[in-house]
Chains A and B, each alone.
Chain A
Amino acid sequence: MIAALLAASETGNFINDLFDSFWLVLALKVAMVLGLALTAPLAVGYMEHKVLAHMQHRLGPMYAGRFHGWAQLIADGVKFIQKEDVIPKAADPWVFTLAPAVALVPYIALFLVIPFDNTIFAENLDVGIFYTLAITAISVIGVLMAGWASANKFSLIGALRAAAQLIAYELPMILAAVAVVMQAGTLSMVGITEAQHPHWYVLTQPVAFGVFLIASLAELTRPPFDMPVADSEIIFGAYTEYTGLKFAFFLLSEYAGIVAFSAIAAVLFLGGYLGPPFIGGLLPGPIWMSAKVGALAFFIVWLRATYPRLREDQLQRFSWVVLIPLMLLNIMVTATLKVLVK
C-alpha cells in the first residue's frame, strides 16, 4: 500500500518530462499557474451571475460578448481598470494599497499544488495539503489590513468580523483535513487522490466532508456566513472605501477562493481527478477534476440564493461548541478504526 503510494507520488510531472531546462520549466509552470488563477475565477464569477439570476427568475448578463453575456466579467475588468482610484484622506495609503495584493497573492500561489491528473500539476509538494491550508489563512490578513487602513467604522467592524470568522472556522477545517490525511497516510495532493482509488473519502468521512464545506463557506465569507460584508448593516465591510482595480482584486480573490476551496474539497473527499467507479475511464482526469470543482462551486453559489445570514454569536458558538469537538472525536475514531481494522 505505502509502496504503491510512494510510486504514485513519484510519477513525473508532464512539463518536467517534456523539457530539460530548469528555467524553461519554471517559466512554463508559473505561466500555467497565473493563467489558471486568472481565468478559473472568471468562469466561476460568470456562473454565479447566471445561476443566481436564473434562480431569481432573471436572465442575468445577456449583452457583453453577444452570446448570453459570456464576456461580462472581462468587460467588468476593463471597466474597473479605468476607474479612478480613490484613497480617502484619513486612510493609511500604503497599507490601503497593499491590502488587495495580500488578499489575492496567496490564492494565486495555492493553484500551484492543485492536481488535474497524476501527471498534470504544477508542483506536487510533499506537504501539499498543509501548504494549501496555511496559505489560504494569509488572505484574511489582507482583509484585516483593508479594514484597518480604511479608517472607516464600517470597514473596521467588517474586518474584525472576518478575522473572528477565520479564527473560529480555520480549526474545524484543519481537523477535517487531518482525518483525510490519516486515511491517506500522505500530505501530498497527488498522493491523497491516488489513495482514493477504490472508493472516495466522502464515503468513509462524510462528517468531515460536511464540516469542511461549512468551514470553507465561513472562510470565504460566503452566505450564509457573510456577516463581514453584510450590506444591510455595514455597507460592504472591509471593502467599503475601495474603488476601481483594488476593489476588483478583492472580488477576484473571493472568486479565486471559491475555486481554490472547491478544488481542495474535491481532492480531499471526491477523489480529485479520479472518475467514479465503472465509468471513470470514459473521460480523462482533467475533465473529472474540473467537473467536481464546478459542481462544488455551483453548490456554494446555490447556498447564496437559499439561506439567510447567521448572526455572529450563533456562528462562533456553532464552531466552538459543535464543530471542533465533533472533529476531534472524528480524528480519534478514525485513528482507532484504522489501527484496529488494519
Chain B
Amino acid sequence: METYYESYGIVTAVLIAGVGLVAVAFTLARIVAPRRQLPEKLTTYECGIDPVGEGWSQSQIRYYIYAFLFVIFDVESVFLFPWATIFERLGFQAVVEMGIFVFILALGLLYSYRKKVLQWA
C-alpha cells in the first residue's frame, strides 16, 4: 500500500503534467500559426456590425439567491460524505441525527420555495 504522500504526489504530478501539456501545445501553436493582426480582426464580435457599448457591461445575475442555497447544500454534502461511509456501524441513531439535519435544510428549501425565490425573475 502506498503512503499518503505518494498517492497525492501522483495527483500533483498529473496536474503539473496537464499544465505542461497545455504550455507545450500553446508554444507549438505560437511557432506554427501565422500572425497577421488587423484592427478589424481584433474587434469584438457582434454579428458583423460594430460593437455597441462595452462587453464588460453590467448584467443582471438572476440567480444569486440560488448561489446562497447552493453554498448551504454544498457544505451539507461535505458533511454527508463521511457520514455515508460509516453510518452503518453507528446504527439507527446516526440515521435519525442525519435525518434531523437534512430535514432542517429541506425546511429551508421549502421556505425559499414558499417565498417564491426559486424563480428566474
Contact = CB atoms under 8 A, between A and B. Distances in A.
Q: Do A and B come from one complex?
A: yes
A58 B62 CA distance: 41
Most chain A CB neighbours (cut-off 10 Å) among B2, B29, B43, B84? B84
Given A312-B120, A320-B69, A105 B74 contact: no
Give the size category of A's interface with B.
35 or more
B10 A81 contact: no
A308 interface: no
Nearest to A27: B13
Given A105-B18, A112-B11, A324-B109, A85 B54 contact: no
A112 B106 contact: no
B50 interface: no
Contact of A97 (B7, B26, B55, B56): B26
Contacts of A122: 10, 14
B29 A244 contact: yes
Interface in B50-107: 51, 54-57, 59, 61-63, 66-67, 69-70, 73-74, 77, 80-81, 84-88, 91-92, 95, 98-99, 102, 105-106
Interface string A145-185: 00010111111110010001001101100110010011001
B109 A320 contact: yes
Contacts of A108: 14, 17-18, 21
Contact of B54 (A148, A151, A157, A244): A151
Contacts of B67: 167
A325 B59 contact: no
Contact of B55 (A109, A156, A175): A156
Interface in B23-42: 25-26, 28-30, 32-37, 39, 41-42
A151 B56 contact: yes
B57 A153 contact: yes
Contacts, number: 207
A66 B15 CA distance: 36
B66 A320 contact: yes
A148 B93 CA distance: 48
Chain A interface main SS type: helix
A44 interface: no
Interface stretch (A269-277, A280-288, A290-298, A328-336): A328-336
A3 interface: no
Interface of B: 1-2, 6-11, 13-15, 17-19, 21-22, 25-26, 28-30, 32-37, 39, 41-47, 51, 54-57, 59, 61-63, 66-67, 69-70, 73-74, 77, 80-81, 84-88, 91-92, 95, 98-99, 102, 105-106, 109, 113, 118-120
Given A109-B15, A171-B70, A186-B85, 10 more contacts: A85-B29, A152-B45, A164-B63, A167-B67, A170-B74, A174-B74, A181-B85, A182-B88, A245-B33, A328-B106
13 contacts: A82-B33, A85-B29, A85-B33, A90-B55, A105-B18, A108-B17, A152-B51, A175-B77, A186-B85, A316-B120, A332-B98, A338-B87, A339-B92
Interface of A: 10, 16, 22, 26, 29-30, 33-34, 37, 81-91, 97, 100-101, 104-105, 108-109, 112, 122-126, 130-131, 148, 150-157, 160, 164, 167-168, 170-171, 174-175, 178, 181-182, 185-187, 235, 240-241, 244-245, 249, 312-313, 316-317, 320-321, 324-325, 328, 331-332, 335-336, 338-340, 342
